[in-house]
Chains A and B, each alone.
Chain A
Amino acid sequence: MSDLGERIKEIIDSEPVALFMKGTPDFIACGNSARALEALRAVGAPVTAIDVLPDPQIRAELTSVSGWPTIPQVFIGGELVGGADITEELYESGELVSTLDERLGSGWREAARQEKVIDLVEGGQPFRIVS
């Protein structure tokens, strides 16, 4: 697997909630990415957002890791939840909260909500965390 693929796997495995999206939480570039992010925000989930737009390789590597062809992609506790449709559907049914509880333990509810942005490709610096 390439370096980028390894880094993507690392993020998925180590972040409680990883959202691969188009744009960033402050500059959302696509309605479906917005839907997924808003559902996660609505339940107070921590979110680590990764923008796939800077490099087409990000999408390609992500899809080969997840088997999911589109963006956004939501991972909770290292496991793919799905895209915008599923995340919204789970939010509406209450299952988004129970999925978070099951995979993260209930500690996420009391913790101060954190939204992180990980920049995968930044002019030579491959991995930078910006809070």
Chain B
Amino acid sequence: MATGQIEVLLRQAFPAALDVAVADRTGTGDHFQVSVTSERFNGLALVDQHKLVYDALSELLEDGTIHELRIRTKGT
């Protein structure tokens, strides 16, 4: 199930993350809401924080597993 894959990829990209949450937003299996709290975001503009999340999930975005992604990021 894609939520599991997404969480694994996020935890790999943000190993010291205080919080990683992934939800199937619409129940259709391809619209996801993710939130990550990590010190990797400290000092970064939101656009750069979100780019890190996009980078972590780029394969799933490219192959269509993720059709839509909503992102919430927070530093520590």
Contact = CB atoms under 8 A, between A and B. Distances in A.
B54 A69 contact: yes
B47 A69 contact: no
B23 interface: no
A85 B72 contact: yes
A89 interface: yes
Contact of B70 (A67, A81, A85): A85
How many of chain A's residues touch chain B, expressed as a range?
Answer: 10 to 19
B46 interface: yes
Interface residues of B, number: 12
Tell me if A's interface is mostly helix, strand, loop or mixed. mixed
Contacts of B54: 68-70
B11 interface: no
Contacts of A68: 47, 51, 54
Interface in A64-118: 67-70, 80-86, 89-90
Interface of A: 32, 67-70, 80-86, 89-90
Interface of B: 46-47, 50-51, 54, 58, 61, 68-72
